[in-house]
Amino acid sequence: MISSLLLIAAVPLQSPPVLTVLDKDETILLTACIELAGQAIPLRDVQARVREPNGNIKSIAFTAAGLEWQAEWKPGTPGLFGVDVVANASAPDGTMIERSAFLAIEA
């Protein structure tokens, strides 16, 4: 079976699809879930790391919201940010699943 990580950023996406442009004071909602054979499965953990324009790396805390995990984040300064999200889950047969996604944001 194939599993996938869905990462949703609650901001309008612009071209190219991996680059989202927003105001530095705008808060975005990140939502993560893993689907296995088209069905969402419970997540064990979701972590995100943000690489800031100055090279610093900060963590974003996600919280469980049913089968999805969510986090809010605001850039705070102008520049190009890289957001790496890693989600972990267990398949019904106990197999460990880890998926990652990347989002580039220009503020």
pLDDT digits (tens, 9 = 90+) for 10-43: 443 333 445 667 788 888 888 888 888 888 889 9
- Rg value, the chain, Cα: 14
Among 68, 64, 71, CA closest to 41: 68
CATH code, domain with 39: 2.60.40.1930
Range of the domain at 16: 3-106
Tokens 């969510």 correspond to 70
Three-state DSSP state, 103? strand
pTM score above 0.75:
yes
